[in-house]
Structure 1
């Protein structure tokens, strides 16, 4: 059996839901990656890249093209995020990545990307039904994930808000697509996102304090 064949083999059944290995492994690694992101560890990016590689197999298996695209976006953005956090992002006093709230201009750009991107991708999926059986939720998750990861790479607290909005659609979408473990793990993501949001929110004040104290009177 090939590696992809094994990944998409059934692991076990719980309450009538058939769980496959790629769904289990990919989402478990993704959960670790999100936890590392909460800790502001640069290793969040390799974990997210590995999770994306495995979940591509899961989403191809259930013909969920939008989510395949989502995982490809995660893979590409993880490479960029790694570079941002190792070279381009400001460091906090404790050595971790400094976090902050986005400016109003940055928020407007992120919202515009989310709205226009969802309309464009949803329109594409609607025009070509073979790409996705559930075009608009699929497009929303696809674009929302991109927006969230861009915000994370820039150390913006809004990253967590974006993930919460993705979860609101991602949970029911995964259950109806046959990826039960993805649906369950998204619920765990939701709890971790709330925890991470609180931590980054408080930390953004700490990271900003030295700059404020050093500012001219």
Structure 2
């Protein structure tokens, strides 16, 4: 059995939204994506294995839809999801006890510089070597997502702001590329990101609050 035989059925239509087909990969990506972000909001470590399944499914969707940078990003995400899983397990004082913290000024400078460089390089690569119709936006969302997943893996509260910025671009981008269900998923992601930001900020305030004598 070839890889195409194994994965091909996932790219078959599960149903149609009007005249636009929605594949099984997009449908399953919708479900696992919603569960994944909900678990991140709750700081549940199971978000990482479910996230790995989600990025594999969405990688197929993006490759099929011509979003090459986003498709390649999902491969990187598999490694970053595994890294985040390890950090949440062993990065705190106790198992699954990595605390929520703030992003330092130095970390912000490094993240913004890396994000700008990644966007520029990917835009050039997509323009030069692919038939992408949205090279800049594909590159920008890829860079923002990499910044956000790194912050999430370290439980940096500001990672939610980066996810929100990425989602605000992803929603119209996926709608434009006829990935209607994925666009709807990112509307749900955006709502969950706001909830996650509030939950992590509350957790951070509670941890930093002075202990009564």
TM-score, structure 1 length as denominator?
A: 0.89
In 2: Cα distance, 1:128 partner to 1:208 partner: 49
- Give distance in 1, aligned partners of 2:27 and 2:6: 15
Give the match for residue 25 of structure 1: 28
Q: What is the aligned length?
A: 209
Aligned equivalents of 1:91, 1:163: Cα separation in 2: 27
In 2, the alpha carbon distance for the partners of 1:108 and 1:144 equals: 14
Task: Give every structure 1 segment of 4 or more consecutive aligned residues whose post-TM-superposition deviation is greater than 3 Å.
Answer: 89-92
SS at match of 1:101: coil
Matched, 1:137 2:163: no
Quote the Cα distance in structure 2 between the aligned partners of 1:187 and 1:90: 35
In the other structure, the counterpart of 1:58 is: 61
Gaps of 5+ in 1: none
Q: Deviations over 1:77-96 (max 9, x none)?
A: 0011011111123569xx64
Instruction: Give ranges in structure 2 of 5+ residues lacking alignment.
Output: none
The partner residue of 2:18 within 15, 22, 45 is 15
Question: Structure 1: how far apart are the matches of 2:66 and 2:32?
Answer: 22
Matched, 1:155 2:158: no
Normalising by structure 2, report the TM-score: 0.91
- Aligned with 2:151: secondary structure? helix
Q: Is 1:73 aligned with 2:76?
A: yes
Looking at structure 1, the residues matched to 145 and 27 of structure 2 have their Cα atoms a distance apart, in angstroms, of 20
